[in-house]
Amino acid sequence: MLSYRHVFHAGNHADVLKHCVLLAVLDYLNQKDKPYWIIDTHAGAGGYVLTAGRSKTHAEWQDGIGRLWQRDDLPPLIARYVAAVRADNPEGKLRRYPGSPLFALRTMRPADRMRLFELHPADVKLLAQNIAAATPDARKRVQIRQEDGFAALKTLLPPPPRRGLVLIDPSYEDKRDYARVVAAVKEGLQRFATGTFMVWYPLLQKNECLTLAGKLKKLAPDWLHATLTIKAPSSEGLGMHGSAIFLINPPWTLAAQLKETLPWLADVLAVEKLGAGGTAPWAVEISGS
């Protein structure tokens, strides 16, 4: 939806989970010399100023990256993520937060390519500015299209090197996004069966959310599902109480990394104590387990 702007939520607990996993996947892809593509269906503005405008007003980052910024006991996966955020804040004070495109751009290698979709007219302009400012060869390595990423994804699959990551993280402000995610992954796998597909979604007391992972599990034999919960679900069923990542064809090393990391992260980012009433602060599930 064009009313949604990720600037409201930049650097929050959901971004922490999403970007930790994103970096882990890209680091894994970098272990082989063969190039790959990154395709982001909902790229946003690419980067965000936390100390002004809407990010400052909402300040969700304070309970996300803000809780990690000064700590010296970070697990390896979190330390990797915080170091990547520090690249946007060389003076040492947390003022800017990179979106998924900037995390990816700074991790990919010269031969790798990125394709970004963003429909919002203001954000697509900011995205182009942020990408151009981040790399001198942006036009060679990155292409940006102001299109519906769900509809346009199929035009890029399979990518020429037959290696790649497809990141799908719409706003879900429109409940039809849940069905569109499933359809996009299903069609994407038909064209690019060996690709890694990474879906982010919010944890909400809504049927579309509660059934999404089950539908995705049916699409491929190799998957990973991770959740991070920061508070108990509302008794009224309103508001996001956590977020989740679902990967198809995940790195084989990722489950162990997350099982090591998420207990620590859940404890640090929790806004209330969990465990009672059947609410688990974190979970990692893999196919075949």
- pLDDT tens string 171-220: 998 999 999 999 999 999 999 999 999 999 999 999 999 999 999 999 99
Backbone angles phi, psi at 118, to 5 degrees: -155, 125
Model pLDDT for residues 133-171, shown as the tens digit of each residue: 998 888 889 999 999 999 999 999 999 999 999 999 999
The CA R_g of the chain, rounded to the nearest whole Å, is 18
Q: Does the active-site annotation cover 88?
A: no
233 or 27, higher pLDDT: 27
| Residue 56 clears pLDDT 70, i.e. is over it | no
Catalytic residue from among 169, 174, 177, 222: 169
DSSP β-bridge partners for residue 38: 114, 165
Give the confidence band of 57 by pLDDT, cuts at 50, 70, 90: low
Q: Which domains does the chain have, with CATH numbers?
A: 6-31+41-286 (3.40.50.150)
Query: Comparing C-alpha atoms, which of 178, 169, 234, 237 is closest to residue 206?
Result: 237
pLDDT of residue 277: 58
Region class of 117: left (phi > 0), else alpha (psi between -120 and 50), else beta: beta
DSSP β-bridge partners for residue 39: 115, 166
Cα torsion through 171, 199, 28, 113, rounded to 10: -60
Model pLDDT for residues 210-238, shown as the tens digit of each residue: 999 999 999 999 999 999 999 988 777 67
| Residue 3 clears pLDDT 80, i.e. is over it | no
CA distance 228 to 272: 13
Instruction: Identify whether the C-beta of residue 159 lies closer than 8 Å to the C-beta of residue 192.
Output: yes
Instruction: Identify whether the C-beta of residue 181 lies closer than 8 Å to the C-beta of residue 192.
Output: no
pTM over 0.85: yes
Number of other residues whose CB lies within 10 A of the CB of residue 176: 12
CA distance 231 to 4: 24
Burial of residue 118, with CB atoms counted within 10 A of its CB: 0-12 exposed, 13-18 middle, 19 or more buried: buried
CA distance 35 to 239: 40
Q: Tell me if the bond preceding 161 is cis, omega within 30° of 0.
A: no
